[in-house]
Amino acid sequence: MHTSSSSSSLRPTASPRALGLAALVLAGLTWASLYLVAKPLLGQVRPAAFTLIRYSIAALVYAALLLPRGAAPWRQLRRHGPRLALLGLLGYGFFGLMLLLGLALSNPAHGATLVATAPITTQLLRWALDGQRPAPALLGSSLLALLGVAIVAGLLGQAAALDARMLLGDLLTLAGTLGWVLYTRGAARLPELDPLAYSGLSAIAVWPLLALAVLGAAALGLVELPSAAQLRAHWAGLLYVGIVPSVLGVLAYMLGVRLLGAVTGTAFLNLIPVLVLALSALLGQPPSGRELLGGAVVVAALLLHSALGQRRPATAVTTTTS
């Protein structure tokens, strides 16, 4: 009798924790896979067109997920449409495009390492915009992460050994993370929208702007659109990127954060560079010693940053990297 009572009392707490951990691992795997799946596709589908295709698919999936909620999401879209479109432009348009531009010029390990610094960028942005100065220890962990980024990018090596093309890609990716951080901050200003509504409605709101920009640029000869043959040849990869990391990964992350908290969720972002390096090695592309060293420094800095942040009052803002 006593054993049965004990096991039943443990079940409600153990199950949500296990579900939350599984959701965060799933999110990390989907986001790590994004870099490896998208990289070869970029040789056939240019970044701007890729971004439009990716979020066209994602917007359709989000619309289907919101459909059972009836008219409520669409009333929210009408009420907050301009703000959601602007935030979507930052998070999906700017970040999505910069990520793919950077990935086209650099490699998956670099991109994942740079995007994983988003939680630290959030802290620095709060300092700049809100006057919330981070504690000295948190600032130190931020500087350590930047050191790791510099190692990964090869900035601390011999100047002759620098790959200008790869360095440009890394800088584009790093700049893109600012768009995602601003997108994440925007969620706090729309507290009535839950994660699915915020992610989905912002994707839907920004889609006309993305379509107008990309198709307009293509009409002017500034952007190359893929041919029908290229789309037929690579439809599976494009569909994967549009659904798995762009929708499933985001929703899994949001579920994990809801069950386990923002600090635990942010800590799991630190695993993405490790997962990318591991998956790359499994695919026959082992990382260089410099990339391993720099990635280790970044992950250590981010883990330290998360541990230090756990001692401070939790905030309602969460950070995602899709």
- C-alpha to C-alpha distance for 55 and 77, rounded to whole angstroms: 17
Q: How many helices (H) and strands (E) does the chain have?
A: 14, 0
Give the pLDDT of residue 273.
Answer: 78
Half-sphere exposure of 296 (CA within 13 A, CB side): 7
pTM: 0.79
**Could you report the per-residue pLDDT of 165-181, keeping only the tens digit for each?**
888 998 899 889 888 88
Q: Are 294 and 113 in contact (CB under 8 A)?
A: yes
The single residue listed with the structure tokens 């702007």 is 209
- The 10 Å Cβ neighbour count of residue 157 is 12
The pLDDT tens digits of the residues spanning 100-125 come to: 999 999 888 788 877 777 777 777 77
**How far apart are the C-alpha atoms of 132 and 136, rounded to whole Å?**
12
Among 146, 93, 121, residue whose Cα is nearest residue 319: 121
Per-residue tokens: 306 = 């998360």
CA 257, chain centre distance (Å): 14
3-class state of residue 51 by DSSP: helix
Residue type for 263, please? V
Largest CA distance in the chain: 76
The pLDDT, as a whole number, for residue 215 is 96
d(CA 98, CA 176): 5
The per-residue pLDDT for 5 is: 46
φ, ψ for residue 120 (rounded to 5)? -70, -40
R_g of the chain, CA atoms, integer Å:
20
Residues 1 and 10: their CA atoms lie apart, in Å, by 15
* pLDDT tens sequence across 263-321: 566 667 767 877 887 888 887 878 788 778 887 887 787 777 667 766 655 444 444 45
Distance CA(297)–CA(293), nearest Å, equals 6
Comparing 100-109, 206-215, 239-248, the range with the smallest average pLDDT is 100-109
Tokens of 245: 């990391």
The span from the CA of 256 to the CA of 246, in Å, is 16
Can you tell me the distance from the alpha carbon of 193 to that of 200, in angstroms, rounded to the nearest whole number?
10
